[in-house]
A = this chain, B = another copy of it.
Amino acid sequence: RVEHLFKEIFKSALDVQEKEQRKALLVSRKKKAEDTVVEVNGERIGDGKPTFIFGPCAVESYDQVEIVAKAIKEKGQKLIRGGAYKPRTSPYDFQGLGLEGLKILKKAAEEQGLAVVTEIVTPGHLEEALDYLDVIQVGARNMQNFELLKAVGSTNKPVLLKRGMAATIDEFINAAEYIIANGNDQIILCERGIRTYEKATRNTLDISAVPILKQETHLPVFVDVTHSTGRRDLLLPTAKAAIAIGADGVMAEVHPDPAVALSDAQQQMDLGQFDEFYDSLMKFMKQYEMNR
């Protein structure tokens, strides 16, 4: 009885301690109560209305990107994603077009008035790439590439930071802290599924991470429905869930012809599927937003 009481007291004390420590982080709500809004190309990410990032997994050619960019523009969206430096499991898989790919992406994006979101995988690429991107993506495999975090933290470009494959929420928040501690507070967190025993989906979308991250930090939180599920048939339902639970935006991959894509062929939407996805989501959101 008494022992149990003591234990409870200790536990509470420990919890208080840990919460205190977390409050001290620059990314924490305690340090800054109001939501951080990241402004990119006129989009105000994190201001309460969900925003979107669409685009192909990898940049393959000007034509490929242009088709997708036009589809995005038609929908009134402002951002396009595309990989130029591709982190791939095997050294013999397509490694991306590098700087050339990024220039292609930038050109196609500018012609449609879109801003570019692209992944940087090592500090050494940052300088050459900086002129051709608007948002720096740090991918799941690099969430604890601390030198990269410091490097992007020293730029004045917004950063989209993806959660590591098996990162705890606490590690995720601390990774963002590396960026803000180096002077850059324009950070978008992105839940993209975690690695679990379940293989029906590519990863397991940890949907509860969204409200936890919104509580603990003042940063906008996105959900990448493509990499979390790895299944085209789950993109729309998980996007609805993401918005319903309070995500600030959704990221999804679109490719003119997924079957011949050089990466992620199984999970990108084609243009028709993209239209359908977008329309259904807008319809869902129209209802939902009234009440948010």
Chain A residues with a Cβ under 8 A of chain B: 3, 6-7, 10-11, 13-14, 17-18, 20-21, 87-92, 121-125, 141-142, 144-148, 165-166, 168-171, 174, 177-178, 181, 194-201, 204-212, 215, 228-229, 233-234, 237-238, 240-246, 283-284, 286-288, 290-291
A91 to B200: give the CA distance in the assembly, Å. 21
Cβ A146 vs Cβ B14 within 8 A? no
- Determine whether the beta carbon of B142 is less than 8 Å from that of A145: yes
A207 touches B122 (CB 8 A): no
In the complex, what's the smallest C-beta–C-beta distance from A287 to chain B, in angstroms? Answer: 5
Residues of chain B with a CB closer than 8 A to A198's CB: 168-169, 194, 206, 209
Most B C-beta atoms less than 10 A away, residue of A3, A141, A168, A286: A141
Which B residues lie within 8 Å of A211 (CB)?
Answer: 233-234, 237-238
What CA separation (Å) do A14 and B8 show in the bound complex? Answer: 9
Once bound together, how far apart are the Cα atoms of A66 and B245, in whole Å?
32
30 contacts between A and B (CB under 8 A): A3-B17, A7-B17, A10-B10, A10-B13, A10-B14, A11-B14, A14-B14, A89-B144, A89-B171, A90-B174, A91-B146, A91-B181, A121-B146, A122-B145, A122-B147, A141-B145, A168-B198, A168-B199, A169-B198, A194-B197, A194-B198, A194-B204, A196-B197, A197-B197, A198-B206, A205-B206, A208-B229, A208-B237, A237-B245, A243-B244
Q: How far is the CB of A84 from chain B (nearest CB, A)?
A: 14
Which of B145, B147, B288 is close to A288, meaning CB atoms less than 8 Å apart?
B288
Q: Chain B nearest CB: distance from A227 CB in Å?
A: 12
Does B90 lie within 8 Å of A177, measured CB to CB?
yes
Q: How far is the CA of A166 from the CA of B143 in the complex (A)?
A: 13
